Structures are given as structure tokens and as C-alpha cells.
Chains A and B, each alone.
Chain A
Amino acid sequence: MAGKQIVATLLLISILSGSAYAERLRGTVSLDGSSTVFPISEAVAEEFLAVQPRVRVTVGVSGTGGGFKKFLAGETDINDASRPIKTREIKFAHDKDIGFIELPVAYDGLSLVVNKKNDWVDYLTVAELRKIWQPGSSVTNWSDIRTGWPRQKIRLYGPGTDSGTFDYFTETINGKSGASRPDYTASEDDNTLVQGVSGDLNSLGYFGFAYYEANKDKLKLVAIDRGDGPVLPGPTTINNGTYAPLSRPIFVYIRKSALDRPEVMAFARFYLSNAAILASEVGYIPLPDFVYEKAIRRIERRETGTAYHHNVELNAANLLATQ
């Protein structure tokens, strides 16, 4: 079992770095936010339990935006985010005097999926995606997208409006964050979307790559063409940027004042040192090692603020440049 191996590896890591975790910590670490980041955080929390059994870690799911609302209300210590913090949220944090530290934890390729039995869709172009998903879209049948596809009513599944995946997708495809046709099955929980698409022949949905990875046998991945041929998302194409424009980094945000609690500090450190292994285990693409190292330095030095302002494009090159 892959799971057992990873557990063994992690145990080894924790034994080797035993000195760092020797002291038994107590206390609580609370996370909330994106369902896209949830699998990584859940895995980290589960493994952290093996090293620090007295620390209580809770991981909730309420979408990136919903999570930020709780984070900025001081209800949680760490927020899982599948998009960078927004200007509005930064301003709010500033007003309330909350310092936050931004830590990229992995890459995600936003995946378009159809039902396993769907035999007509081979790829979709970015223009076709926009045609389907833009506000006021007139696409109701598959045949409206490309001639030759069946005259069947298309059923759409996508993340809810509080999700960073939604923000990112609408911004990239429709040009404006939040601009989307509303008549689709929306859920903050990507599991619901997987259930929907896997059970419905005429469905089309989008969500984080990890949820495709975890449900490969039930879904069919759709290649995306932005002009230089169709590309399927996968570890290589997401990492080297050829799967575009739908690949992006995902983050956790830590409240600066929470880092004064040793258990939060230990958890953050643990998160960054194990993110690479655990992220790939749950279906994400790990960042280069030096990014994690820099991120650890960030929490040690308590460097607050975001590297992403609304005019900076979210891609791998920028992520590295700003670290």
C-alpha cells in the first residue's frame, strides 16, 4: 500500500528529526478554507498527530473566501487558500491589525472532467470553455459547443462561489473573477462534484487536479487547448507550465500572532517540511525544494504580506521570483 510506505517514510523523518519534535506540545491548531487544499492539510494533520499526539488539529472546509472570513475574524489560525488573498481581504486584515504570512504549498492543475462513458469530448479550447461558462451563456446542449457533438442537454458541475477554484477559473476563462453562468450544480465540496460528474453521462465539471487523481477510475480528463495543441494536466505539464492557463499555486495563510504559540509554529514547520511528499501523495504537484526552504525561513522571520497583487499573473515563474 502506498499509504503504508508513506507512513513509514514519515515516521522515519520524524525519528530522524527527533530532536526538533522531542518536546511534547499541547494546544490547538485550527485550519479552515478551501476544499482544494483540504486533502493536503488533512494529510498533514493526520501525520502530525503521529509526532505530536497531544496537539489538537482541526481542519474545516468552507471555501477559500469563507475560510478567509473566519481567519480574519480570528476564529482560525491557518487558512487553506486555492488563490492568493484578495485586495479587499488584505485591507480588512490591515484594518483589524492582523498580520498574515503567505506560504505556497503545491501546484494544482485545474481539471476539466467528463463522465467516463463520454466518448465524444477529446479536448476543449479556451474559447469553447468561455462560451460554455460565461455569464448569459447560450450553451444548453453539447451540440452548441462544437458541431458533431450530440444534441444532449449538457449538465454542468463546478465549485461554489466561496471557492478559490471558482475565482481562479472565472478570472482566467471569463476574464473577471466571479463572472460565471449561475445555472450549474455548485458545491464548496469537490466530492459532491465528483459524484455528480461520475454519475451523469452528459456532465461537464471542473475542480482541482487532486480530486481527479483520487477518482481516476470514475472520470475522464479533458485536454485543454489554448492555441498550441491540446494538453492534459499531469505532474509534468503542470510543473513546467505547458498546461496553461489553468495551473496555479495553492497556499496556506498563517496568522502571525498564532505563530507565537509553539504548537502552531511546530505544525507550520511540519507542514512545510512534509508538504512535498504529502502533496504528491494526495494528487498535487510539489514545489521545488528551495521554495519550501524559503517558506520555512519566512515563518521563522515572521515575514508578513502577500507576493501577489491583483496585477501579478499567477504562474510558476512569478511564484519563484517573489519568494
Chain B
Amino acid sequence: MNTRLSDSRKQLLRRHRKARFFSFVWALVTWLGAMLLGVLLYQVWVEGYKWLDMQFITSFPSRFPDRAGIKSALVGTIWLITMVAFISIPIGVATALYLEELSKKGWVSRMIELNIANLAGVPSIVYGIIGLTIFVRGLDLGRSLVSGALTVSLLVLPVIIIASREAIKSVPTSIRHAAFALGATRWQTTWAHVLPASIPGILTGVILALSRAIGETAPLIMIGALTYVAFVPEGPMDAFTALPIQIFNWISRPQQEFHELAAGGIIVLLGVLLVMNALAIFIRYKTEQKLQ
């Protein structure tokens, strides 16, 4: 065999060995990254599961770890997220409809689009500062659920708008043309045809945005929700605490038992997130079936 040929053969072998080696490396690195989720969940579960019982869910925070619970935090989170949903979904979907269907595609809508894209990247703590300055102080709403809900709504609004726009965009133009052809006005088309067709996509985006809202801690700390609250809020003007705040409070205590309580709180928080995401998948599945 000619040496040249064997050289290039060797080279070829080397190249293929390298390719095989790296195909292994990519997979390994990816799995190591994914395994971090496992490590995290395992750590949380091992520390927290023994605190999970009805007493934990139905008790108020306490200075004794074995009497402490997350009732006020859980109810606070449910209040907060419901209010955020009522504020941010109509505004977000309306904005998306306006930008996609109704606005003249001029510099105004381009500016709004650019603006929303940039708002999505503003750190949550900056929203916290705005919430503190405008809602808590400026409008004198105090450290209430309303202040919290408005602040978090501003934070998730860009996410909802962007997701809704994607969903609206993916509605085939033929549906609009069909409606126009039958003499529907622009708004009738949008309301009766485009919106229903885009609901599965919008819902998915909305639920993902609300999941993000549930975990937000920094803005709520900024508006002053970090307090001992041993009651359930009954109206939007009440003071409140929320799950991530209660978790933060427990983490920052030095005693081991409180760290374990924090882990218990995290399990509940992740559980709520899981339920919401399952709901998103379920809704999408159901509505997609109906549309077909």
C-alpha cells in the first residue's frame, strides 16, 4: 500500500474517531446539565418531604418549626396570581390583537413592538422599584395585594403580549379572507374568527407567563411584602405574603429546621407550577381537538 494512501487513511480514521468522541461528549454534557434538575429536585425532596402534611398547609407561619405552615403564603399567592391574571390577560391579549390585526403598520406600531421586546428584558427588580415608587407610594396603595398584583402584572405583560402575538400570527390568513369575503368588518373578523382560533396558543403563553409570576420574589420584596403575616387576605387592599417570600424568609434563617421548611415550601411551590403547566397542556389538547 502506498504511504500516501495510508496517511490519509490514518487521517480519516482520526477524523472519524474525533467525530465519535465528540458525539459522545455532546450527549454527556447535555445529560449532565439535565441531571442538575434531578439533583436539585432530589435535594429539595430529601430535605422537605417530611414536613409535608395537612398541618403544614393549614398553619400560619410560626417561630416553632413544628407549628409553622404556609397557609397565609399559599392563599396570598393564589390571590396574587388571580389578580395578576385578571389584570394582565385582558390587557396583554388586547395589545396583541391591536398590534397584529387592527393597527396600521406604521412607525407607531413598530415603536410599540420594539418597546415590548425591550420591556421583556428589564430585570424584575427594576419593576420592583417602579412598583414601590408608583403603586406603594405614588398612588398610595400601600403594601397591599393591589400593589403587588399591579407590579407583577407589568412584569409579565410583555411575555403575554409576545406569546399572544405568536399565537395570533399563526392563524391562517385564509380564515380572515373568508370572513372579509362574507362582509364581516375587521373587528368582527378578529373577534369571531381570529381570536377563537388563536386561543390554545394564547392560553399556553398566558399560563407560562403566570407560572413565572408565581415564582417572582424580588419585586415583592421591593414593595415590602417581606413580613410576618399570620392571616389570610380577604380583599385586594389587604397586606399579604406569598410562597416565594415565605421560602426566602425561611432560607435566610440559620436553623436547619427552617431550611427544611423552606424545602417543604419549595415542594408546594413546584407542585403549584406543575399543576398549572399540566392545565396548560390539557387546555391546549382539549381546544385543539375541538377546533379540528
Contacts and interface: CB of A to CB of B under 8 A. Distances in A.
Please say whether the chains A and B touch (CB closer than 8 A): yes
Interface of A: 1, 3, 28, 30, 32, 38-39, 41-43, 45-46, 49, 56-61, 75, 189, 191-192, 194-195, 198, 214-215, 218, 282
A58 B254 contact: no
B227 interface: yes
Given A28-B239, A191-B252, A215-B254, A46 B62 contact: yes
Interface residues of B, number: 21
A227 to B, nearest CB: 33
Contacts of B230: 45-46, 49, 56-57
Contacts, number: 59
Contacts of A43: 63
B63 A58 contact: no
Contact of B226 (A57, A60, A75): A60
B254 A45 contact: no
Contacts of B239: 28, 30, 56, 58
B254 A42 contact: no
Given A194-B254, A215-B255, A56 B63 contact: no
Interface hub of B64, B228, B229 (most chain A Cβ within 10 A): B228
A-B pairs, top 6 by smallest CB distance, nearest first, are A59-B228, A60-B227, A194-B254, A56-B231, A3-B64, A191-B253
Q: Chain B interface mostly helix, strand, loop or mixed?
A: loop
Contacts of B62: 46
Contacts of A30: 239
Interface of B: 60, 62-64, 66-67, 142-143, 224, 226-231, 238-239, 252-255
Given A46-B62, A60-B227, A189 B238 contact: no
A4 to B, nearest CB: 9
11 contacts: A1-B64, A3-B67, A32-B227, A42-B63, A42-B228, A57-B231, A58-B227, A58-B228, A195-B254, A215-B255, A282-B63
Nearest to A49: B230
A189 B228 CA distance: 14
Given A28-B239, A30-B239, A42-B63, A59 B227 contact: yes
Given A28-B239, A191-B253, A215-B255, 7 more contacts: A30-B239, A46-B62, A56-B229, A58-B228, A61-B226, A75-B143, A198-B254
Nearest to A57: B230
A239 to B, nearest CB: 23
A56 B230 CA distance: 7
Contacts of B143: 75
A189 B63 contact: no
A58 B249 CA distance: 14
Given A56-B231, A60-B226, A60-B228, A49 B254 contact: no
Interface hub of B142, B230, B231, B254 (most chain A Cβ within 10 A): B254
B252 A192 contact: yes
Contacts of B254: 191, 194-195, 198, 215, 218
Contacts of A61: 226-227
B11 to A, nearest CB: 54
A42 B227 CA distance: 10
Contacts of A32: 227
Contacts of A214: 255
A49 B60 contact: yes
A218 B253 CA distance: 13
Contacts of A38: 228
Nearest to B240: A58
A43 B68 CA distance: 12
A42 B253 CA distance: 14
Contacts of B253: 191
Contacts of B63: 39, 42-43, 46, 282
A1 B62 CA distance: 15
